[in-house]
Each structure stands twice: as C-alpha cells, then as structure tokens.
Structure 1
Amino acid sequence: MRLLGAPALLLGALALLLGGCEGSSSHTLMYFHTAVSEPNQGLPQFIAVGYVDGQLFSQYDSITRRVQPRVPWIKKVDEDVPQYWDRDTQICQNNEEVYRVSLQILRRYYNQSGGFHTWQFMCGCELREDGSPGRGHWQYAYDGRDYIALDKETLTWTAADLKAQITKEKWEKDPAFAQRQKEYLEEICIEWLQRHLEYGKESLLRRDPPVGKVTRKEGYDDRETLVCQAYGFYPKEIDVTWRKEGEVLQEGTFHRSVAPNPDGTYHAWLSIEIDPKERNWYRCHVDHASLGEPLVLAWEAPASNLGLLIGCVIAALLLIVAGIAGGWFYTKKRQEGYRAASTNEGGSSSSGGEKPQVVYRAASTDSVVVHPPEEGE
C-alpha cells in the first residue's frame, strides 16, 4: 500500500487502509503524520491526525502546537486519563522536531538541495468482529512513495529502494526497536481502540441499514448496464453481489469501493453489463450487519405519469369551474346591492330619516517521526 504525497490526500490512504466493501465488521485505530519541507499558508510544517473507524477524533499541527479533540465522545478520556491531552501534545511536539531533522537527512540521502518534499508515517491496528487482533501497519513514505515498513511477524524492515536500505541497516542493528513497535500494534493500540469504541459506542457501534435501488443505463452494441446502489449504511462493511438465476456473478461487473458520506454513513455501488433481453433474470443482493436478511433488488420500470397528469387536469378544471361560479355569485350580489340602494335613496325612516347603508365585505384568504502517541504508557 502506498502513502500519498500531500496532507490533503491522507484520506485517500485512509480509504485504502479501511479496505473494500466486503468482509465482516471490524474496527480500526489509525494515526497519520506528515511533515513538509516548505510549509505555506494552509499547509503546516507538521500535522498528526488520529482516526477510529475512519472518523477523525484528534488533530495536532505545527501552527496550534496542541492536540485538539475532533469529536465530542473523545472528551470522555479525561475521566480515565486526566493528563491525556497534555501528554499527547508533548509527544507530538517532540515528533515535530524529529520529522524536521528526518527531512534534512533524507534530502542528503537523495542528493536534493531544495524543493518541496514530504515525510509521512502511518501506523494502526485492527480489531476483528470476534475480538481478535487483525492487521497491523507501521510504515513510512518519502515524497509520496513507499520508503520503509515493518514486517511485525519477522521483526524486520522492508526497504523500498537503495536509500531506504541505509535506514533498514541502522534500525536492524537494534532488534528491540522493531519489537517495541510490534508490542505497540498488538497490545497498546488494541487496548486504546477498545477504549475509543467504548467512549464513542453511540456513534461507532451503531448499525444503520442500507437503502438500495437499481438503475439502468443504455450502452453500445445492444447492451445495457444495471447499477446496484446502496447508501446510508453504517458500519462500512457491506457485501454487494449481482446474481443471475441464483448464481453469483463476477465477470462483467464493475465494483466501486465503499465511500463515506458527509453524515458519517457510507455508500457503495456495483454495476454489471447485460443483454437487455435477460434483464428480468438479474437480482442484486445487499448484505449488511444491520439487516436480518439481505436486500434483493431488481430493476423496476418507472411508474407511468398518466394518472398524475389526469389528476392535474381534473384539478385545474375544478379550479376554473369554481372561479366562474364565484364570479357569477359576486356579480349577482353587487346587482342586488345597487338595487337596494336605489330603492331607499331620498326616502326617510321612522327613526329619523337616516339613509340605510349596504355594507359589502370582500372575501379574503391568508395564504500524525518515530512514534505515534503511545497512549497509556
């Protein structure tokens, strides 16, 4: 997996880490650190961020120089670790200086006198649905390309090029260095992932079911494409398959990885190219942890608008008739009023000769180096 060359692209690396749209529900705790040789407005020299299940929960940069909470639930950590924010701030400030020196060393390795360069770090752990540890990552990238990564099973470092081989030889002179990273990934990281899941369980452990639909697009050579869409679901793991008469299809399908929505849910889609004559044989199956049984979706022709048009015409005719009747009634009342006024004009009344008045009321309507924050140590 490749780390990307600019802080704005860290979310792309995060999406790759979080995996595709298949698989059982799991949870991840990830840290990303990025240092740049030429900071500018809007681009700090150093930035460190932490994610749980793709949700940003903490951030540090060389402008604020303090670790900041990014979701309300992480503030619950103060009850367990009162010095949490001060301690992590100190760690990030130390890492900021380490990264600055590392960039200078790397530029010498690659014989670079200046220009824009990046040094990135990524680490994290995974907790499977059954509670067992999953994947662990501890790796670095220089100028957007893989540089060196830990193989935690063999406690060795994998160098991506000849310059990284220099770093590999230095680090492997101290076997305890790799052992410490392995312990972090398998113990400390997992412990803190479990804590974060407890702090944010209302958000992180919820289950929102997907809404699904199938659309179609005309293609070439008498072919068409059916697109199965699932959106608004959480957690991110989802299994979407196209089936023809019960058989799962792989050939001819185009798969898009799960992507986040602004509200914290996810969306995904899977398309397949078919012969339109066989359209009714295809079904999309959407399976998710929130569902008792999979959604089974087929393409449905849009409902006819004829009934709606007839209803609109009838409503318009009724309004016209009502308007004509209202106008006739109003005209008739005015004529009667004029006649009443004419009959009494100039006459006198038994009460003193005052002229009777006809009053009309008009109708109206109102209308993240060397180490990430090693929490707990």
Structure 2
Amino acid sequence: MGGPGSLLLLLPLLLGGAESRSHSLQYFLTAVSEPGPGVPEFTVAGYVDGQRFVEYDGEAQQMRPRAPWMQAAQPEVWEQENRVHKVRQACFRGKVRTHLHLYNQSRGFHIFQYAYGCEIRADGSTGGFRRFGYDGGDFLIYDAARHRWEAPAREAEATQRRWNGDPVALQYYRHFLERECGEALQRYLQLGQGALARRERPVVRVTSRDTPGGPTTLSCRAHGFYPRDIAVSWLRHGGSSEQGPRRGGVLPNGDGTYHAWATVEIDPRERGLYRCRVEHESLADPLIAVWEPPSDSWLVLVVAGAILALGAVAVLVGLAWRRRQSGPKADLYSPALASEHGSDSSITALT
C-alpha cells in the first residue's frame, strides 16, 4: 500500500481492492479531539471481505458483533478484543494530544486514524498494510515490501526515524502482517463460511439522460449483488475495447449486498451502439445490458389513465348540474337530510 494519499479515502479503496475469490481482513480505528452527540471519542470497525463484522462501542468499552455469524464466536474472542481496544482507546487519547502539539494546534475538531489489515489473494499470495493518518492526510505508512515506515508528512519524520530504529518493533510488524493477521482471517472465514460464501446475482438496468444540444449520458447500474467485487464497463459495437466511463465505486446496501454504477457520454445518434458489460462471481458468463426506449404498453396505460380521469371529471360536473337544477330537496347528500337519518351512518359519512 505504497504512496501518499488521503486516509479518509482509504476505506472504500481498500474494500474494493481484492481480486476475485481473494479474502481480506481490515480494521479502521478513529479518535477525535472533541467528541459530541453522534461523534464518539473512539471507534473501531472491522471488515471481513468488505463486510463489517465487528464494531467497538467506545462508551461501553465493548466490541460488538455486526454480522450474525459472529454471534457464534467464543467468549475468549470478545474478551481479547475488549482488552486490546480498551488499551488502544486510552492510547489514542494520547495520540490526539501528541498530534495537536506536532501540528502546533491548541484546540478545534481533529481526527486521528489508524488502518491495518491483510489479504489472501486468489493465487495464494498474501499482503498487508498499516497506515496512520491525521485530519484526512497520511501521517505514517508501513512499507510491507521494505519492512520500514515512510513519512508522507513532515511532522512525522521524527517518529519515522524512531520507529525505523527499533528492529524488534519492525520484526513484530512484519510477523503480524505476514502471519498473525492471515491466521485471524482464516478463523473468521471459517466462522462465517456460509454467509461469506454466498453469491447474489446483480440486477442491471441501463438508463439514458439527454442534454439539450449536448451529449447523451448512458448510466449502467448494478444492484443487489454479493460478494463486493464487480466489473462494470461500457462497450461500443459489442467490441472488446472499453469506452472511458465514469464509475461511482461500489457501495453497500442495507441488506448486506452492494450496488455500483458506470456512466458514459455519447453522441445521442449512437445510443443503440453501446452495451454495458457486467462481470461478477455469481454470473457464469458476463451479463450484457442495453438501453431500451419506453415501451408502447406504458404509453397506452398513460393515455388510458388520462381518459378515465377526464371521464370522472365529466360525471362529477353532470351530477353537480343536476343538483342545481333539482333544488335542495332533491340533494340526498345534504346535511339536513342526513340529520333526519342519523341512524344511517353511510349517509352521515358522505356528508
């Protein structure tokens, strides 16, 4: 996980980075300088294969399951998680104060973040990462290939020199990423093997939006798929070359599935030449979707609805005219007549 970048953007990037049938374990820890309602002092979120499976409640100082399959975890798992993160919560208070000093800040809302994890790729190889961030920017990054810390921020250079000068700590970081993290991932995969192994097919829809005097935007949206990894691309003439689309990333749904989209701007005269191609583990072959104009049946329904509405208006106008011609005694729905038939609730209701 090499070069610098915004740690606030790290979560969605990492969750989408695994290859097909690879597996990942990731933790994201956050501490803030000024907690408040809805903004806890310290939080932890853990993910297996992009699914949140645990979350630390800083106020209760308890790690809680977020995936149903974690309910089956042994009590010692929760005892270990709670013990480790209580210590980290206290440690992160100090980290926030330290960074306020390093950045010459005395007060205000500031965020300290720590992200780490590992993956087992489809070819059996492994990898891992550790990153620290402050106020949305990278502070320190562990270079897993060189087994040393890099300092994107000038304020981190003193910490970088100190940590790189400790061979025992460097050996621990390497051992954790190359062995301990992978062993933990294997345990969680075994615990949640039924839920994590499921496959949900994407539902794909293509829509079109015209710009007066400009290009047409075709949008391809895939909904309700699992696992997270998916490829959505636009092809012209059904060929193999991909047109340069804009992608919206892969985002979670409330039911544990995901959705994704990709758009492409085209000449409106060539709308019928473009195809959306979707590749996913749940599909034996790539799914091809095209834009289709509104059907004639839809237009018939709209026209029929308008005719019925006009007919209803005509009937109401006719009834009103007849009442006016007949005078008040002929109005069966008048309040006076309704009071004479007070026991008849149907007439009373109509008034």
Q: Within the alignment, does 1:106 sit opposite 2:99 as a pair? A: yes
Q: Following the alignment from structure 1 to structure 2, what is the Cα–Cα distance between the partners of residues 251 and 297? A: 15
Bigger mean CA offset, 103-112 vs 167-176: 103-112
| Cα distance in 2, alignment partners of residues 216 and 309 from structure 1 | 20
The structure having more radius of gyration, on CA atoms, is: 1
Distance 2:19 2:51 in 1: 19
C-alpha distance in 1 between matches for 2:301 and 2:30: 57
Instruction: Assess, with a 3 A threshold, how the Cα gap between structure 1 residues 83 and 245 changes in structure 2: closer, same or farther.
Output: same
Q: Secondary structure at the match of 2:73?
A: helix
On the 8 A contact 1:150/1:178 being kept in 2, the answer is no
SS of the equivalent of 1:83 reads: helix
Please give the alpha-carbon distance, in whole angstroms, between the structure 1 residues aligned to 2:285 and 2:58: 49
Deviation at 1:288, TM superposition (A): 0.9
Q: Choose the corresponding residue for 2:201, options 183, 188, 209.
A: 209
- Please name the residue that 2:210 is paired with: 218
Residue equivalent to 2:324:
none
Question: 5+ unaligned residues in a row in structure 2: which ranges?
Answer: 310-351
Residue of structure 1 equivalent to 2:283 = 291
Partner of 1:232: 224
TM-score by length of 2: 0.79
In structure 2, relative to structure 1, the CA distance for the partners of 1:116 and 1:229 (3 Å cut) is: closer
Gaps of 5+ in 1: 5-11, 317-377
Cα pair 1:253 1:270 within 8 Å, conserved: yes
Deviation at 1:178, TM superposition (A): 2.0
CA RMSD of aligned residues (A): 2.5
Q: What percentage of aligned pairs have identical amino acids?
A: 42
Q: C-alpha distance in 2, partners of 1:252/1:171?
A: 43
- Tell me how far apart the structure 2 counterparts of residues 311 and 40 of structure 1 sit (CA, whole Å): 56
After superposition, what is the alpha-carbon deviation per residue over 1:118-163, rounded to whole angstroms, capped at 9, x for unaligned?
2211001112234432x42101012222100100111111112222
Structure 1 position 222, deviation (Å) = 5.2
Equivalent of 1:117 in 110, 119, 137: 110
Go from structure 1 to structure 2 and tell me whether the alpha carbon gap of 1:145 and 1:222 turns closer, same or farther (over 3 Å shift): closer
TM-score by length of 1: 0.74
Matched, 1:86 2:82: no
Partner of 2:39: 43
| Counterpart-to-counterpart distance in 2, 1:287 and 1:149 | 33
Amino acid at match of 1:120: Q
1:247 aligns to what? Answer: 239
Q: Out of 186-195 and 123-132, give the one that drifted further.
A: 123-132
**Are the equivalent residues in 1 in contact too, given 2:233–2:278 (CA < 8 A)?**
yes
Q: How far 1:59 sits from its partner (Å)?
A: 1.9
1:16 aligns with 2:13: yes
Q: Which residue of 2 aligns with 1:261?
A: 253
Secondary structure of the corresponding residue to residue 160 of structure 2: helix
Cα distance in 2 for residues equivalent to 1:178 and 1:71: 33
The structure, 1 or 2, with the larger RCO (C-alpha pairs under 8 Å, 6+ apart) is 1
Residues 75-97 of structure 1: CA deviation (Å, up to 9, x unaligned):
3221xxx4221122111111112
